[in-house]
Each structure stands twice: as C-alpha cells, then as structure tokens.
Amino acid sequence: MEQRSFYVMEDEEGGRLDVFLSEQFEDISRSYIQKLVKDGLVSVNGKLEKAKYIVRENDTVEVNLPDRSEPKPQPEDIRLEIVYEDDQVIVVNKPQGMVVHPAPGNSEGTLVNALLHHCDARLSTLNGVTRPGIVHRIDKDTSGLLVAAKTDRAHEELASQFKVHSIERTYEMVCIGNVKEERFTVDMPIGRNPSNRLKMAVVNDGKNAITHFEVIKRYEGYTHMRAKLETGRTHQIRVHISHMHHPILGDPIYGPKKSPFKLCGQTLHARTLGFLHPVTGEYMEFTSELPDYFTKILKALEK
C-alpha cells in the first residue's frame, strides 16, 4: 500500500475532492478515485470525506493506493539560476520549458528534482513527497522568479501571504494586437472551461480573479505589456488577456496555433517577486532580467 499526500494550493481550492485528485493522478480514472474514496482510502486533514467534498486551500489530502508504486522524485544535478538563498527560502529564476514539480509521465528534469539536489533534500514537507518546497507555481513555458521553502515554518508563512494576496508579482509579456488602453484592470472570475478541463476560462461561477495590466510599448501588430497579479488563479494572466482579445504571443492554449516566430511557448516572464521573509519579517523584492527568447522577440519587433 502506497500513501501519497497532497497539499491543496490556492489555485486548486473550490473543486470536488474526486476532481482534485483526478488532476493529481492523470493516469487514474475519476471512477477509480471515487472507489478509493468510497473504500475509505482517502482522508482530508485526517478525516474521511465523500467524493463531493469541496477542497479548501491548505487542506492535506492523503491517499492510500493499493498495489501502486510511483518513485519519489530523485535529486538531479540540474543547473539552477539562484537569485537568493538562506536557510529558510530559495528564490530561483526558472527557465522556459522546465516543469515545476513531477507529475505522471514527467518525473524527471523538473525544478523539484533540481532543488532536491541543490538543497540536499532539505525542503518543506507540507506539499507531499512529489512537491517538496513548492509554495506556488508558474507554468512550464512561463519563465521567471519562483520562491521555494526549505522549512515547514517558512512554507506556512509564505502560503499565508499568498492566501491574503500580499505577495508582489509582476510579469512581462508580448500580446498579439495593439492594446488601446494604457492601463486597465480585468476583474473576472476564472474556473475550469466546461468544454475542456485542460483549459481555464472566464466563467460566472469561477473564483475571484483580478489582474492589472499596463502597456510598456506598442509595435506593429503587437504590444509589450506588464501585468500585476492581485490574485493567483491557474493561467490567470493568460486567460484574462486572451478574454480581452489580445492573447499572449506563442500561447499554445489560449492563442492562435500559428505564429510568425519560432517559439517554444508563451512570451510570459515572471519579472518581479516580493514578499516578507517568513522568519525575519523583512520585505524582500527580486527582479530578473528578460530572458534571451523574450529579448529576441522584442528586437525582431523593433525591426
């Protein structure tokens, strides 16, 4: 019997327990997960719940999997661009194309594998064995700053800051089309796309989501923009700006399939990250340079 633990993050709350687990185990059917729940093999915060239980942020979900073996993520000597590090937290500049944590079918080469090696496995345990140290995430093809926790205390403190939306997070992106407004705010709820569970969408019954946008520079047919997150929903910036008919250049999910540029994903970079240190309480803010793939696009648009 294998036991797996999951720590519900902010952008995962509000859904049914069986749906939440089906997203963690992409190779297990929802009906099988419902059977596990019915058989008493799933608990939430140490208590048995039904499949329809609505998960909440910071819930700890434990699953007992009969006759299933999935190895723990192993440390891998993968180069990390470390922006800041102490005995409580580590801030890294994640490259485009790197997955944050292992998932079925993608167990190697992730940020977690790299962190386990660099930190000698000394990472917080609150997010289970597959997501040690992970407090928040950015998409595989989004580059930029991310903070991980080395201790459970640091994890809890950072998670509370994310919960009340006090973390400072700004992104830069290149959008398709010429955005007319210099500054504007999109305040629209986001939830699962009812016709495609792999996508998010603006939906009436979704979670509150607020993004502040600002134009940096306009080019012929494109706009270089800055986005500041007030909330942190899955794909929030990508969904909000595509809903405004200006999808991010290179976005394979919310943008056009064809692009005049050779891109490996959306031109979206997590540029600034600010938070209170989980132990000292000191405000810390970090800024990363735009990566090569991003600056090459800007140079091409200049011409």
CA distance 286 to 290: 13
Instruction: Compute CA distances 142 → 7, 58, 77, 289, whole Å.
Output: 23, 25, 22, 14
Residue 275, sorted as left (phi over 0), alpha (psi -120 to 50) or beta, turns out to be beta
Does 65 have pLDDT greater than 90? no
- High-pLDDT (> 70) share of the chain, %: 97
pLDDT (0 to 100) of residue 260: 86
Across the chain, what does the average pLDDT equal? 93
Among the listed residues 11, 139, 141, 251, the single catalytic one is 139
Ranking 57-66, 172-181, 275-284 by mean pLDDT, the lowest is 57-66
Amino acid identity of 268?
L
Look up residue 218 and give its two tokens.
């306009």
67 is catalytic: no
Higher-pLDDT residue of 69, 253: 253
Contacts 24+ apart (CB under 8 A), 184-187: 184/212, 184/213, 185/210, 185/211, 185/212, 185/213, 186/210, 186/211, 186/213, 186/240, 186/241, 186/243, 186/244
| Phi, psi for 163 (deg, rounded to 5) | -65, -40
Pairing of the two strands 143-149 and 268-276: parallel
Q: Are 2 and 68 in contact (CB under 8 A)?
A: yes
Does 303 have pLDDT greater than 70? yes
Does 99 have pLDDT greater than 70? yes
* Tokens 């009812």 sit on residue: 194
pLDDT (0 to 100) of residue 158: 97
CA distance 238 to 236: 6
Q: What is the mean pLDDT of residues 250-276?
A: 94
Does 70 have pLDDT greater than 70? no
Domains, the chain, ranges and CATH? 2-65 (3.10.290.10), 73-163 (3.30.2350.10), 169-270+294-302 (3.30.2350.10)
Q: Are 250 and 263 in contact (CB under 8 A)?
A: yes
- SS3 state of residue 198: strand
pTM of the model: 0.80
Does 68 have pLDDT greater than 60? no
Does 254 have pLDDT greater than 90? yes
